[in-house]
Amino acid sequence: MLKTFSIGGVHPQENKLSAHQSIIKAAIPPQVAILLSQHIGAPAKPLVAKGDTVKVGMKIAELGGFVSAAIHSSVSGKVLKIDNVIDASGYPKPAIIINVEGDEWEETIDRSDTLVKECKFSSEEIIKKLTDCGIVGMGGACFPTQVKLCPPPAFKAQCVIINGVECEPYLTADHQLMLEHAEEIMVGVSILMKAAKVNKAFIAIENNKPDAIELLKKTASSYPGIEVVPLKMKYPQGGEKQLIDAVTDRQVASGALPISVGVIVQNVGTTFAVYQAIQKNKPLFERVITITGNSLAKPSNLLARIGTPLRQLVDACGGLPDDTGKVISGGPMMGKALINLDVPMTKGSSGLLIMNEEEAKRGEIHPCIRCAKCVDACSMGLEPYLLAQLAAHGEFERMEKERIMDCIECGCCQFTCPSNRPILDYCRLGKNKVGAMIRARKAKK
C-alpha cells in the first residue's frame, strides 16, 4: 500500500503532455528583465545602475533583509534601466532590465559537465554559499533556501524531504530533471543533509513517474541515508504539510513551521541548484521550465535564463496558438493567470500553461447545493463552503475562528464544486483580510 496524505485531496487529469521531452536549452533573449522580488520576503537591493556592464552569474542585487535572496545576472550585457514591469502578480514591480551582448560568464563558474561528488565545505560554509548564490525554493513559493536550513534554535531538524512529487497537472520539469540529472540531485541531497546536519533524507515521488522512481532508487543505493519513497498519486501532495504527512506520518500543527516536526522540505529543482551552487560555483540564474498546453505545437521542457520574456519561450515551442484564452504561470491548480506574454520568467517559474478559449473560461455559477464535496476535498480539513459564505458576508472574525489561515489555497474545493462556485476566490479574500487583521492586532501590542 503506497503512502499518501490523510485528509482530502482530488485527482485532476494529469495531462503531462511534455513528459519525456528532454530538456532543451532555450536561446538567450535580446533583453531580459530580472525582477528584484522573485522570492518571499524583502525585495533584493540592486547593486548595479544604468549603463553598468554585467556578466553571466554576476551578483546584481543583494539581500534586502533576513528573509530575502540575492539576484544574479542571467546574461552578459549592459544594464538598460531599473524600471517597473508587470510580473505574474499582475502588478508592476521593479526589475533590472539588461540588454544582452554576447554570452560571457563569470570565470569562477565551472561550466563542465563532470560530476563532482566530494563536498569539502562545512555546514556553515554551505549555507553562506547558498545565500551568495541566491538559491530559493523552486517549487513555486520561492522561500529562500538558507532561511529554511537555519531553523530557530528551539527546533532541530531530523530529516530532509526532497519534493519530487510534481502533483500539478501538465508540469514535467522536475520529472525530466530527475531523469537527466539523477546523480547531481543525489549529490545535492547529500549537501543539503550536511548543511542541515541530518543523516536521513527521503526523496518523495508520485507513482505516475515509475521511471524516475526506479532510476533514483538505483542511484540512491550508493549514497548513504537517502531513501526514495514512492507515493500514491493525489493532489496536493506537493504541498509542504501534505508531503510531510505522506512521508513521515506527522502532521504539522496549525500555524507551525515544518521544522516543528523536525523536517526540512526542498524541491528537486532546488536540490539541483544547490548542487550547482556548491560544486560548480554557479548561482541560480537559469532553471528548467515546462511550456505546455493542449493546443501548443511542441510542449517542451526548456532550460531558460531567468528574466527571459515568456513570449520567447512560447515561440520556441511553436508559438502562441490563435485560440489562446488563458496563459498560466505555473500549473493549472495553483498557477497565476497572466495578462500577456511579456512577463519575465522568475526563479519560481516551474511551468507555463497555455489554455484555449474553451478550457479557459470558468463555468456558469449555480447556487450551492450543500453537497459537502468541498469539505471532503479540502486537504486541510476545513469547510470551504462555510468560509466562502462568511467571506461573502464580510464576517472575517468568524473566519479566523474557522481557521481560514490554515488554507493552503490548493484549489481542491473549487475544483470539485459541482456548482462551479468561486470558493477559493472568497477564501483568498478572507485570508487576505484576516491576515491584515492579525497583523494589525500584533502591531497594536
Partner 1 sequence: MENKLFVSLSPHVHSEDTVKRNMHGVLIALIPAFFVSLVVFGIGALIVMVTSVVSCLFFEWAIGKYIMKSKTTTIGDCSAIITGVLLAFNLPSNLPIWIIILGALFAIGVAKMPFGGLGCNPVNPALAGRVFLLISFPVQMTSWPVVGQITSYADATTAATPLAIMKGVINGTSGVSLNQLPSAWNLFIGTNAGSIGEISAAALLLGLIFMLWKKIITWHIPVSILATVFVFTGIMHLVNPVEYARPLIQLLSGGLMLGAIFMATDYVTSPMNKKGMLIYGFFIGVLTVVIRLFGSYPEGMSFAILIMNCFTPLINIYCKPKRFGEVAKKK
Partner 2 sequence: MNLILIAVISLGAIALISALILFLASKKFAVFEDPRITEVAKVLPQANCGGCGYPGCSGFANACVKAGSLQGKYCTVGGQPVMTKVASILGLEVEEAEPTVAVVRCNGTCEHRPLVSRNDGTRSCAITSLLYGGETGCSYGCLGGGDCVNACQFDAIHMNPVTGLPEVDEDKCTSCGACVKACPRNIIEVRPKGKKSRRVYVSCVNKDRGPIAKKACEVSCIGCGKCVKVCPFGAITLENNLAYIDPNVCKSCRKCVDVCPQHAIVELNFPPHKPKIAVVEEVDSTKTIETPKAVEAVAVSVDSPKENNN
The reply on whether position 332 binds partner 1 by CB under 8 A is yes
Specify the stretch interacting with partner 1 by CB under 8 A; choose among 133-141, 215-223, 288-296, 374-382.
374-382
Comparing CA positions, the residue from 246, 252, 213, 166 lying closest to residue 1 is 246
- What residues between 71 and 90 interact with partner 1 by CB under 8 A? 90
Min dist CB 254 to partner 1, Å, is: 5
The reply on whether position 92 binds partner 1 by CB under 8 A is no
Compute how many residues bind partner 1; rule: CB under 8 A. Answer: 77
* The binder of partner 1 chosen from 117, 199, 418, 436 (CB under 8 A): 418
Count other Cβ atoms within 10 Å, centred on residue 22.
9
Min dist CB 302 to partner 2, Å, is: 25
Residue type, 326: K
CB contact at 8 A, 319 and 341: no
Min dist CB 280 to partner 2, Å, is: 37
- What residues between 2 and 41 interact with partner 1 by CB under 8 A? 6-7, 10, 12-13
Specify the stretch interacting with partner 1 by CB under 8 A; choose among 30-38, 58-66, 224-232, 349-357.
349-357
For residues 25 and 362, which CB has a smaller minimum distance to partner 1 in the complex? 362
CB contact at 8 A, 301 and 22: yes
- What residues between 156 and 195 interact with partner 1 by CB under 8 A? 169
What's the longest Cα–Cα distance across the chain? 64
Min dist CB 6 to partner 1, Å, is: 8
Q: How many CA atoms lie within 13 A of 168 on its CB side?
A: 27
35: helix, strand or coil: strand
| Residues near partner 2, by CB under 8 A | 84, 86, 89-92, 326, 337, 339-340, 360-362, 422, 425-426, 428-429, 432-433, 436, 440
Strands 324-329 and 263-267: unpaired
Q: How far apart are CA 222 and CA 229, in angstroms?
A: 16
Q: How far apart are CA 37 and CA 89, in angstroms?
A: 11
The reply on whether position 298 binds partner 1 by CB under 8 A is no
* The binder of partner 1 chosen from 96, 187, 228, 328 (CB under 8 A): 328
The reply on whether position 252 binds partner 1 by CB under 8 A is yes
Residue 202 backbone phi and psi in degrees, to 5:
-115, 135
Query: How far apart, in Å, are the Cα atoms of 380 and each of 9, 245, 410, 437?
Result: 9, 11, 10, 22
Q: Which does 254 bind (CB under 5 to 8 A by kind): partner 2, partner 1, none?
A: partner 1
Task: Give me the count of residues in the chain.
Answer: 445
Q: Which does 152 bind (CB under 5 to 8 A by kind): partner 1, partner 2, none?
A: none
310: helix, strand or coil: helix
